[in-house]
């Protein structure tokens, strides 16, 4: 009669160890998936990464339960380590992916279900239009670095086109005036021109052209009817527009000042000028939401302003290209309009102070007007 409980306990012990070892086996596989996901070419693997992290967590929890019930300390501890590792790895992996996607400044970020997207590239020339820079006098490593950086910028600029289309949908959903929708579409057209110019610069440095792959993930970007479009417009205009695109303009202008290559400098000057216009568009959207829908958006704007310091700063070089750029001649990169990340950081901090000041002033003016009307 006493044999059955013992057999049951042994089965639980075996199950505990099986789940614990399975969880540990998943961990290195998911690490490899994460490493591939860090490159834009394999960014679609994020779903597999999250699934494996969840599977590791489930296996770890099951190992803990069976380990405790069978009184197997080793299996229980292994399950705890696997579960904690799944949670920590999932969190750090997502943070790493988000940070890895911040290299390159130009354009408004495109988000689908909270994830930044930009197209992968392939050989082709249908998006390459514009003058080519003179690449004579550049060593191969520097030419490769410049081409890669401009191709990355082209990806970001291309993503900005549907990003502004998304903004126009939100504006229409919120009942915005015609001039704001017109401005959104004009910005999208300018981003198309930026994309073509970036591809042309990259082609000039590389001696070959590339183009974009399809972006089927855009079909997943449905709007949630439970979300207030006025709030989304206000919050994203503050961070992605008022802060980020004014910063884009700041960086492009600084890069243009040090650039000695005429064609590249002209592109940088155009980007600086039009990104400033895109930032002003975002300020106009923010002003409209405050003027027309203050009760709906004021709290969200305050919260977004509080969290603005935690907004991921774009870096001069995406992490996946760091080694490639490190092999280039820094002085030649500068002559072709590329500033070091330390300069980007200082420009970001200056812009952050100015953005905060301007938003605060708008919030105070709004409260003052409300108080005056109440009196």
pLDDT digits (tens, 9 = 90+) for 171-205: 999 999 999 999 999 999 999 999 999 999 999 99
* Res 25: pLDDT: 84
pLDDT band at 374 (very low <50, low <70, confident <90, very high): low
| Mean pLDDT on 199-221 | 93
* Res 34: pLDDT: 63
Rounded Cα distance between 256 and 268, Å, is: 5
pLDDT digits (tens, 9 = 90+) for 129-156: 999 999 999 999 999 999 999 999 999 9
Q: Taking 60 as the threshold, does the pLDDT of residue 373 lie above it?
A: no
Nearest to 338, CA basis, from 68, 69, 144, 53: 144
Rounded Cα distance between 236 and 133, Å, is: 35
Q: So where are the chain's domains?
A: 3-100, 110-374
| Mean pLDDT on 296-304 | 96
Rounded Cα distance between 139 and 295, Å, is: 58
Rounded Cα distance between 338 and 126, Å, is: 26
Lowest-pLDDT range of 53-67, 138-152, 281-295, 341-355:
53-67
CB 69 within 8 A of CB 11: no
* Res 366: pLDDT: 65
DSSP-based three-state secondary structure for 362? helix
**DSSP code for 311:** S
* Res 12: pLDDT: 72
* Res 75: pLDDT: 67
| Mean pLDDT on 57-69 | 82
Task: Map tokens 């420009």 to a residue.
Answer: 347
- Structure token pair of residue 37: 């996901």
Q: Taking 60 as the threshold, does the pLDDT of residue 211 lie above it?
A: yes
The yes/no answer on whether domain 110-374 falls in CATH 2.20.25 is: no
Rounded Cα distance between 89 and 30, Å, is: 9
Q: Taking 90 as the threshold, does the pLDDT of residue 370 lie above it?
A: no
CB 147 within 8 A of CB 206: yes
| Mean pLDDT on 238-250 | 97
DSSP-based three-state secondary structure for 150? helix
Nearest to 53, CA basis, from 20, 28, 36, 75: 28
pLDDT band at 52 (very low <50, low <70, confident <90, very high): confident
- Burial degree of 269 (CB within 10 A; 0-12, 13-18, 19+): middle
* Res 70: pLDDT: 78
Lowest-pLDDT range of 102-106, 188-192, 305-309:
102-106
| Mean pLDDT on 309-330 | 92
CB 305 within 8 A of CB 290: no
The 3-state secondary structure of 112-128 reads ECCEEECCCEEECCCCC
* Res 98: pLDDT: 47
* Res 162: pLDDT: 96
Radius of gyration of the chain (CA): 25
Q: Taking 60 as the threshold, does the pLDDT of residue 96 lie above it?
A: no
Q: CA angle, corner 100, sides to 98 and 102, nearest 5?
A: 75
Lowest-pLDDT range of 44-53, 150-159, 253-262, 310-319:
44-53
* Res 101: pLDDT: 45
pLDDT band at 59 (very low <50, low <70, confident <90, very high): confident
Q: Which DSSP string corresponds to 247-289?
A: HHHHHHHHHHHH---HHHHHHHHHHHHHHHHHHHHHHHHHHHH
- Structure token pair of residue 64: 């803990």
Nearest to 333, CA basis, from 95, 154, 54, 146: 146
pLDDT digits (tens, 9 = 90+) for 6-49: 567 777 778 777 877 887 788 788 777 766 654 434 445 566 77
Q: Mean pLDDT of all residues in the chain?
A: 87
* Res 302: pLDDT: 96
Specify the length of the chain in residues: 375
DSSP bridge partners of 110: 117
* Res 63: pLDDT: 80
DSSP-based three-state secondary structure for 111? strand
Among 67-76, 98-107, 284-293, name the most confident range.
284-293
Rounded Cα distance between 56 and 22, Å, is: 8
Rounded Cα distance between 227 and 225, Å, is: 5
């Amino acid at each position: 009669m006493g044999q059955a409980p013992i057999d049951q306990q042994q089965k639980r012990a075996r199950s505990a160890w099986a789940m614990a070892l399975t969880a540990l086996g998943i961990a290195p596989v998911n690490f490899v998936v994460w490493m591939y996901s860090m490159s834009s070419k394999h960014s679609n693997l994020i779903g597999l990464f999250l699934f494996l992290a969840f599977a590791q967590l489930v296996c770890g929890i099951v190992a803990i339960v069976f380990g405790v019930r069978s009184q197997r300390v080793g299996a229980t501890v292994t399950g705890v380590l696997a579960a904690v590792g799944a949670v920590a790895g999932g969190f750090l992996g997502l943070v790493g992916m988000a940070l890895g996607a911040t290299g390159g400044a130009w354009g408004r970020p495109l988000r689908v279900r909270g994830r930044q997207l930009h197209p992968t590239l392939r050989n082709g020339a249908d998006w390459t239009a514009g003058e080519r820079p003179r690449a004579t006098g550049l060593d191969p490593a520097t030419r490769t670095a410049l081409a890669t950086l401009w191709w990355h910028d082209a990806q970001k600029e291309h993503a900005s086109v549907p990003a502004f289309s998304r903004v126009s949908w939100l504006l229409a959903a919120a009942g915005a005036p015609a001039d704001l929708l017109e401005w959104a579409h004009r910005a999208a057209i300018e981003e198309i021109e930026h994309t073509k110019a970036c591809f042309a610069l990259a082609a000039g440095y590389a001696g070959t052209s590339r183009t974009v792959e399809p972006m089927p993930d855009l079909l997943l970007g449905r709007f949630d009817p439970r979300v207030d479009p006025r709030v989304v417009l206000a919050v994203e205009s503050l961070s992605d527009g008022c802060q980020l695109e004014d910063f884009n303009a700041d960086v492009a202008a600084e890069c243009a000042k040090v650039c000695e290559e005429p064609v590249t400098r002209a592109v940088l000057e155009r980007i600086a000028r039009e990104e400033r216009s895109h930032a002003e568009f975002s300020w106009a959207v923010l002003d409209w939401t405050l003027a027309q829908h203050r009760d709906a958006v004021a709290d969200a704007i305050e919260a977004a302003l509080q969290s603005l310091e935690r907004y991921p700063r774009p870096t001069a070089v995406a992490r996946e290209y760091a080694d490639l750029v490190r092999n280039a001649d820094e002085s030649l990169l500068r002559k072709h309009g590329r500033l070091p990340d330390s300069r980007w950081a200082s420009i970001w901090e200056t812009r952050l102070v100015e953005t905060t000041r301007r938003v605060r002033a708008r919030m105070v003016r709004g409260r003052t007007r409300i108080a005056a009307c109440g009196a």
